[in-house]
Structures are given as structure tokens and as C-alpha cells.
Amino acid sequence: MTSVTTSLSDFLMSVLKLLSSGKNYTMFSERFKIGVNTKGFWGHFDGMTPCPL
């Protein structure tokens, strides 16, 4: 049986690295939002889901 992880930290390891110059911000931002939303965590970023205790 294959295990699928929903760990946000695992996902963040695969996100395009944001350059310190900010030149790739648009691509980074879009990929980050899509990925976090796919994992079901976007509510924590936009304030719709409270912080887990």
C-alpha cells in the first residue's frame, strides 16, 4: 500500500525556491498557493481557518 503524505512541511520542500531578488515571485506565489490549497491548508493562510491548538 502506498502512503500519501499531507504534511505541509513535506510539500514546502518541493515548492520552487523564492529568489532573494524576487524575480520569480509571481511563479513562486502561484505554485505556493495552488500547492497549499491542494493540501487543504489555504484557510490557515487567508484567515478563514483558525490556528489548530
Q: Given this model, what pLDDT does residue 12 score? A: 58
> Is 38 inside any structural domain?
yes
Q: Per the structure, how many domains does the chain have?
A: 1
Is the full-model pTM beyond 0.85?
no
Question: Per the domain annotation, does 32 fall within a domain?
Answer: yes
37 — phi, psi (to 5°)?
-65, -40
Q: Is 37 contained in some domain?
A: yes
The parent domain of residue 23 ranges over: 8-43
Residue 35: inside a domain, yes or no?
Answer: yes
Domain contains 17: yes
pLDDT tens across 18-52, in order? 999 999 999 889 888 888 888 888 898 888 988 77
**Other CB atoms closer than 10 Å to residue 40's CB: what's the count?**
11
34 conformational bin, left if phi > 0, alpha if psi -120 to 50, beta if neither: alpha
Please state, in angstroms and as integers, the Cα–Cα distance from residue 50 to each residue in 10, 23, 25, following that order.
Answer: 21, 32, 27
21 domain-assigned: yes
* Structure confidence at residue 13 (pLDDT): 58
